[in-house]
Amino acid sequence: MTELSAHLAFRRPGFDLRLRLALPGAGITALLGPSGGGKSTLLRLLAGLERPRAGHIRHRQRLWYARAAGIDLAPRRRDLGFMFQDHALFPHLSVAENIGYGLARAPDRAARVTRWIERVGLGGLAQRRPGQLSGGQRQRVALARALAPAPALLLLDEPFSALDASLRQSLRLLLQELIAETATCALLVSHDLEDARQCADRVGVMIGGRLRRLDEAEAVFAAPGDAEVARVLGWPNTLAVTRWEGRAACGPWGRVELARAPRREDSVVALLPDGPRPGARAGLAVEIARVIDMGPYRALSCRLPDRTALRIHLPRALPCPARGERTLLDVPPGCAIALPAGTAKTIQSTRY
């Protein structure tokens, strides 16, 4: 069931946003993309902090915004929870007062606040002020405050970016658990691919004010749709193709065979890092620039003949070339994927 749908157009000098978005009734949708792509602007439009120049925002059967009908609900009437990178807690209020701020006055209000304090692991800290807490503790307060009123939609803008790696990991897990327990619809904006990989049920990619890809997380990471989206999703090797020879992609970097013939719109070949192997009798000529020990595998940073960088992952059990060594790289056809350079069209497989 669609929880929230939006069809929006927004413009400011040097930036134009146009998109359609549908979110399901529960779960986390992560939005990835380069800076300036429109991710945080979209959150502000949904929250009512910016006004679209056209379109609508609908939560179930209730319109939050519809320009044609003259409807524009104030942010406080949109039934939203918001969690920011910088916590945005009230410094003069205690942990308990911050969490209870959005709750209606009712006989069970204090008990609900206590349950949230315990649930986010802050037992014994109810009377502390934000300035007396660590960064991770402040984010736990912010998350509890955002979810305590049971919002229709939770908006999260880079909520973990100011935290160190271990805190990010624990808060990702807490967020997943709380969203599942409360069956909340959440939209998470992040520059960190691990936020999307570890937290998100669905992933969207925004580039230049357009939603270029939206689907289940596994489907998006496996099939980005075009080279621009692939780079946002962390695909390390995208090579421009100057000509096709049947199923072979050619460029100043060399030549690789593909498992299938390219389409008319394909102009880039992406090489997956986990399949290619050095020490072949024929293949891509590379120079090993660096070898990085990643535990179960070694990451080889290579240079192609045109000095393009290439990254491959070599299992620890296999012989590893030394830095500075020149070798030929065998690229299995299944590791070379043809993609268009980019498209303004949204690729969205899932419907809600």
Task: Give yes or no for residue 13 having a pLDDT over 50.
Answer: yes
Read off the pLDDT band of 86 (50, 70, 90): confident
Where do runs of H (alpha helix) occur along the chain? Answer: 39-47, 95-99, 109-119, 135-147, 165-182, 193-199, 217-222, 227-232
Q: What is the mean pLDDT of the chain?
A: 92
Burial of 333 (0-12, 13-18, 19+ CB in 10 A): middle
| pLDDT at 286 (0 to 100) | 97
Task: Give yes or no for residue 25 having a pLDDT over 90.
Answer: no
Extract the tokens encoding 9: 């157009």
Q: How far is CA 338 from CA 27, 32, 70, in A?
A: 32, 22, 46
**Strand order in 15-24's β-sheet?**
15-24, 2-12, 54-59, 62-66, 71-72
**Which residue's structure tokens are 């908006």?**
155
Q: How far is CA 269 from CA 153, 195, 299, in A?
A: 39, 27, 20
- What pLDDT digit, counting tens, does each position of 35-64 carry? 999 999 999 999 999 999 999 999 988 999
- What pLDDT digit, counting tens, does each position of 151-184 carry? 999 999 999 888 888 889 999 999 999 999 999 9
Backbone angles phi, psi at 174, to 5 degrees: -65, -45
In this structure, the dihedral spanned by the alpha carbons of residues 29, 32, 36 and 41, taken in order and rounded to 10 degrees, is: 0
Please give the single-letter amino acid code of residue 25: G
**Strand order in 243-245's β-sheet?**
243-245, 248-251, 254-257
- What pLDDT digit, counting tens, does each position of 118-131 carry? 999 999 999 999 99
Domains recognised in the chain with CATH numbers: 2-229 (3.40.50.300), 232-340 (2.40.50.140)
Mean pLDDT (whole number) for 102-109: 88
